[in-house]
Amino acid sequence: MNAPDKKPQPRWTRRKEARPEEIIAAALDLFVERGYASTRLDDVAARAGVSKGTLYLYFENKEDLFKAVVRGNVLPVLQHGENLVETFSGSSADLVRKLVRGWWELTGSTKIAGIPKLVIAEAGNFPDLAKFYYDEVIERALSMFREVLQRGAAAGEFRKVDVDHMVHVALAPLVMLAVWGHSFACCEHEKLQPEHYLEAYLDMLLHSLRMPQAQEKKHARK
């Protein structure tokens, strides 16, 4: 006689250390779907399969949970990029390509791309969250790309530019692509093709940074 099948255990009976990650994953889903203001902790707990009391064991409030979502999903991608900048031995143009395509693979093509749109949309009502995101994400992204531009200029690959402003110009199209995917994409008759967008973006950016031909030859003779 076969033993009766065991009933599936509810998610909240899983090991305790797994629960914060499950709550963060549920919160990411809901923040991207509904925005910050409309996301309720009751709904996050329900989607994570835990009680609201359990959620409060790990997160003090919704702001604390949102910060955990950013730190658990966005900051590791930034760290990956920073490590690449530190260790990459190829040309600066190839480094830019690798960073951009890595960003798309790890962030732009995932639900994490909904976070910038959320922050932009709700910054006016939640300035503390905007300040947190600026300090922990935007500043690091700008600093990382600033280092890449300076690396390229020092090697004679890129022309000298106003780096402090160019980093904003360089990163803005990537932010727009992320925002577009979570806003106007639903209205398009012909869907924007992200891979083609990124190729056009890289072509425009790298051609604008490239040393003029005469100067390239001058550097080559040195």
pLDDT in tens, 65-119: 999 999 999 999 999 999 999 999 999 999 999 999 999 999 999 999 999 999 9
Q: Maximum distance among all alpha carbons in the chain?
A: 86
Cα angle for residues 176, 112, 109 (degrees, 5° grid): 65
Contacts of 210 (CB under 8 A, 6+ apart): 93, 157, 158, 159, 216
Alpha-carbon distance 3 to 112, whole Å?
A: 44
For the chain, what percent of residues have pLDDT higher than 90? 81
Alpha-carbon distance 141 to 176, whole Å?
A: 15
pLDDT in tens, 121-147: 999 999 999 999 999 999 999 999 999
For the ranges 26-35, 56-65, 97-106, 212-221, the lowest mean pLDDT is seen at 212-221
Q: What are phi and psi of 158, to 5 degrees?
A: -110, 145
CB-CB contact of 69 with 27 (8 Å): yes
CB-CB contact of 96 with 206 (8 Å): yes
CB-CB contact of 65 with 59 (8 Å): yes
More confident residue, 102 or 219: 102
Contacts of 58 (CB under 8 A, 6+ apart): 19, 20, 23
CB-CB contact of 48 with 26 (8 Å): yes
Predicted local confidence at residue 113, as pLDDT? 95
CB atoms within 10 A of CB 156: 15
More confident residue, 183 or 123: 123
Domains of the chain, start order: 11-62 (1.10.10.60), 74-221 (1.10.357)
Predicted local confidence at residue 21, as pLDDT? 95
Q: Does residue 27 carry a pLDDT above 60?
A: yes
Which run of H or of E encompasses 147? helix 139-154
- Confidence band (pLDDT; 50, 70, 90) for 13? very low
CB-CB contact of 119 with 133 (8 Å): yes
The residue-averaged pLDDT of 162-186 equals 93
pLDDT in tens, 190-211: 888 999 999 999 999 999 999 8
Predicted local confidence at residue 187, as pLDDT? 87
Alpha-carbon distance 97 to 85, whole Å?
A: 12
* pTM for this model (two decimals): 0.85
